Structure 1
Amino acid sequence: GTLISAYQGGERGGYNQTPTISAPGYNNVLTGVWFNKHNVPDNSIKAPNYYYPTIFRFFKTQYPDKTVGIFSSWEDNRTKLVGDGLAQTGNIKIDYKFDGLELDTIKYPHDKARQFMAKIDQAVTDEAARCILEQAPDLSWVYLEFTDDMGHAFGDSQQYNDAVIAADKRIGQIWAAVKQREKQFNEDWIIVVTTDHGRDPKTGRGHGGQSDRERSSWIATDANPLNVYAQKGKASVVDILPTLATHLGISLSDDQKRELDGVSLLGKVSLYNVEAKRTDDKVNLRWLSGEDSGKVKISLAHTNNYKQTGKADVYTLLAEVPVNKGSFDIDLSQYPKSDIYKIVIEGTHNTVNRWIVNKK
């Protein structure tokens, strides 16, 4: 396996800066986009923008007969973030679900030390491992909470370290079920482990801000071979959705590719780590090339239909340039005035996007 350093929180001070809080952090992972698109800024999850589908919806839309599972110590992950059974999510059906234990205060009485969450995490792990071994959902998500509880309660401490070790053992239990499936049925699985946020730099108790430590995340995976971006680029948690899409054979439409903020860690990659710097009406685009030859198409839209209605934006092709050029300049004065400009760079193997948002 490989441990990849990755970031949460979008870009510090940028149009897609995202609070380093649980629900936004996991929705970044699930949708492959940041808060400016998915619209989940906190744990109340009041109005998610379901025009940005989760990996579960992408998968079930293409493979309706295949199965998915969610095993979680927090019910909102399934009911609100993924939107199980909601009209707005196309009535997506989660085939195997095991959650809501935190609402059962009879079986899991809530003690102040929150040891009940350790018991719930273990129950969730047991069921996930059993279901993977016996039913083998094609795509599963397991969420464990106890480490975060211990961080809030004790900060940087032995209690927190012990909780991390316990989580590691639980993940090992799930991984053992995966390995057993591979051995017994010759199936091709990958496991991807990540986290929703870091912790505050002073005590390790809180989170939500944009310090390096709060933005700090990671991706642990046995997927291989990892590509040049995974090895040399600056990865983030929004890369998980396109990585899973590559492994699972999910085809995305051009409109969907133009909105995704992540880049797959598997397979060929044309370009990555794009920056757009604006000075007055001039925009300088820079990127790193993942291949020696080939071209990229650079296009511009001055609407935001996809976010507002789920319908496609109309893009104007500006130029086609060699991918290894690594930069391009745009003069916005040549185009209609707008509060937003959406720039996409489409390579042979992947598409990346940047927004230029006028600050009101």
Structure 2
Amino acid sequence: MFHRKISAASIIVVLLLMAMKVSAENKVLLIGIDGVQYERILALNTPSFDRLNLIKAYTGGVQWHKSEQRTVSGPGWATIMTGVWKNKHNISSNDDGAANNYWPSIYRYIYNANNQAKIYGFSTWGPIHTKFFIGDMDILTRHAEGGSDDDNLNRTLQVLKHESPDFIFLHLDEPDAAGHSHGHGQAYDDSILRSDRRLGLLLDEVENRELQLGENWLVLVTTDHGRDAWGKGHGSQTQKEKTIFIASNKPLNSNYKQVAAVPNNSFGGLYNEPAQTYIVPTILSFLNIMNDEHWGLDGLPLIGSITATKVYVDIGGKKCGLEWDTNAGTPITLTKNEHVAKFDCDGNADPLFIRGNKIYTNIHGSGCSLQWDVDKGTPLTLEENEHVAKFDCAGHADLMQINSYGMTTTINDTSCGFQWDADAGTPVTLGRNEHVAKFDCIGSPDAMELSELKVE
């Protein structure tokens, strides 16, 4: 029998590789392929896409709501890069300038968490960098705009082969150009097949890094919009134009479906699928840098567990849950983006995300936060010291003090308690079993029960 003599140096190398495997660094490659029709991926022979977990998703925000946006590249890529809709990032067309930096890009989120991170961005469609996120270019280790898809593919492959990236965003544009020129047909299909081959080269290089270096890579692939019935155009709120995809080398869960506030079943149930807003939270969760503030984004992670909380109070001997609307709609809307918070005594509470000292919920595809007012005043005052509580979907959460005994916030330098009624009764009743929630600034908060819901 042949016995190989193992040197001490070899043992050390093996042990080092084992250690790297145990404490593998999490890294991300985000690939955007512009204008790819989800249905054509399913119809064509795409062996590289077949290596991934492919799920249906949507773009364009929620029709008739504040989040609605055109199904064109500018708003689409801004949403993919920020995790919020155009009412927050402010990009409504391909010609807009810089996005609202109150809602940072994924570049900025990663840099803020680790300013030594190696971040790369290569975009065939230049405006993503030259217009919308031009303020982030100085934090990138390297970036490029324009050129061909193969130019930017090769830049990405070189980084994967020879450098130590933490995050790479690659934008490829050929399918969108082919669609605009030819519509549906052989030329468009061929552009998807070439994109699939490029994807295969990237997946091979990622898998090689995992094998050789012990790294742990999340690969996400998506598109900014679908196409109209002819394949040449896009921009409207139709099911084909709103339907996109998210693909990943990791399993993507559907836990978010169990913590949605109220489903919207338009477009054949498309709103029950994740949106492009879920990409940023998924990346942040994978990189272990998702913090309390990120629950105000307009999406939820597709990786890992989600912990939600339900809030109940006792009203007239009934267990009443904190909600924002009724079964069919909102009983009182203060403005287009504000929804009255209430306690519903029919027995169901909407899931909330209590993170730090803020409260969020998902209302029609937007991360909405519990508040008592807008800007400088209260949209609805019940009495001098009573303020209606509401969920505001513009993205600014008021600070709360939250415990099992109650919920308080500071209003005009006064500690105000979360309640459902006034001294003698209910100041506003929406229905027989619905009571407006309010902050009362002259008494003590009502006792509450916090019930945790953990979705694995």
What TM-score bracket applies, with the shorter chain setting the length? 0.7 to 0.9
Q: What is the aligned partner in structure 1 of residue 239 from structure 2?
A: 212
Instruction: Select the residue among 50, 55, 65 that pairs with 1:14.
Output: 65
Measured in 2, the distance between the counterparts of 1:71 and 1:45 equals 20
**Displacement, 1:301?**
4.2
* One-letter amino acid matched to 1:9: G
* One-letter amino acid matched to 1:213: K
**Contact 1:62 1:250 (8 Å CA) reproduced:** yes
**Contact 1:297 1:319 (8 Å CA) reproduced:** no
CA gap of 1:347–1:52, structure 2 versus 1, over 3 A, is farther
Q: How does 1:24-103 map to 2 (within 5 A)?
A: 24-83=75-134, 86=135, 92-101=138-147
- Say yes or no: does 1:157 pair with 2:200: no
| Residue range with higher mean Cα deviation, 131-140 or 144-153 | 131-140
**Contact 2:324 2:330 (8 Å CA) reproduced:** no
* One-letter amino acid matched to 1:270: T
Q: What is the aligned partner in structure 2 of residue 269 from structure 1?
A: 306
**Contact 1:227 1:267 (8 Å CA) reproduced:** no
* One-letter amino acid matched to 1:257: W
**Displacement, 1:300?**
2.8
Q: Deviations over 1:242-272 (max 9, x none)?
A: 10001112133x34422x0010000101359
| Residue range with higher mean Cα deviation, 218-227 or 144-153 | 218-227
Q: How does 1:267-306 map to 2 (within 5 A)?
A: 267-270=304-307, 277-280=329-332, 299-303=370-374
Measured in 2, the distance between the counterparts of 1:230 and 1:184 equals 37
**Displacement, 1:314?**
2.1
- Say yes or no: does 1:248 pair with 2:287: yes
CA gap of 1:79–1:241, structure 2 versus 1, over 3 A, is same
**Displacement, 1:96?**
1.8
Measured in 1, the distance between the counterparts of 2:278 and 2:290 equals 16
**Displacement, 1:200?**
1.0
Measured in 1, the distance between the counterparts of 2:82 and 2:249 equals 21
Measured in 1, the distance between the counterparts of 2:157 and 2:242 equals 30
**Displacement, 1:150?**
0.7
User: If the length of structure 2 is used for normalisation, what is the TM-score?
Assistant: 0.58
The structure with more strand, counted as a fraction of residues = 2
- Say yes or no: does 1:183 pair with 2:211: yes
CA gap of 1:257–1:173, structure 2 versus 1, over 3 A, is same
Q: Deviations over 1:34-65 (max 9, x none)?
A: 00000000111224211100111010011111
Aligned-residue sequence identity (percent) comes to: 27
Measured in 1, the distance between the counterparts of 2:247 and 2:258 equals 13
User: If the length of structure 1 is used for normalisation, what is the TM-score?
Assistant: 0.73
**Displacement, 1:12?**
1.2
**Displacement, 1:134?**
1.1
**Contact 2:324 2:350 (8 Å CA) reproduced:** no
CA gap of 1:237–1:68, structure 2 versus 1, over 3 A, is same
CA gap of 1:348–1:97, structure 2 versus 1, over 3 A, is farther
Measured in 2, the distance between the counterparts of 1:311 and 1:199 equals 30
Measured in 1, the distance between the counterparts of 2:207 and 2:65 equals 41
Instruction: Select the residue among 265, 269, 273 that pairs with 1:234.
Output: 273
Measured in 2, the distance between the counterparts of 1:192 and 1:10 equals 20
CA gap of 1:297–1:231, structure 2 versus 1, over 3 A, is closer
Measured in 2, the distance between the counterparts of 1:311 and 1:130 equals 39
CA gap of 1:124–1:303, structure 2 versus 1, over 3 A, is same
Q: Deviations over 1:65-122 (max 9, x none)?
A: 1110011112222233332xx3xx5x75110213232xxxxxxxxxxxxxxxxxx111
* One-letter amino acid matched to 2:143: K
Instruction: Select the residue among 398, 408, 422 that pairs with 1:314.
Output: 398
Displacement over 4 Å in runs of 4+: 230-233, 281-290, 310-313, 315-320, 345-350
* One-letter amino acid matched to 1:234: E
**Contact 2:157 2:202 (8 Å CA) reproduced:** yes
Q: CA RMSD in A?
A: 3.6
| Structure 2 unaligned regions, length at least 5 | 1-51, 260-271, 310-322, 334-339, 353-357, 361-369, 377-393, 401-406, 408-417, 421-432, 441-449
CA gap of 1:223–1:76, structure 2 versus 1, over 3 A, is same
Q: What is the aligned partner in structure 2 of residue 144 from structure 1?
A: 172
**Displacement, 1:199?**
0.6
Give the secondary structure class of the aligned counterpart of 2:306: coil
**Displacement, 1:175?**
1.3
Give the secondary structure class of the aligned counterpart of 1:235: coil
Q: What is the aligned partner in structure 2 of residue 115 from structure 1?
A: none
CA gap of 1:330–1:216, structure 2 versus 1, over 3 A, is farther
**Contact 1:20 1:198 (8 Å CA) reproduced:** yes
Measured in 2, the distance between the counterparts of 1:275 and 1:216 equals 28
**Contact 1:304 1:313 (8 Å CA) reproduced:** no
Measured in 2, the distance between the counterparts of 1:8 and 1:92 equals 29
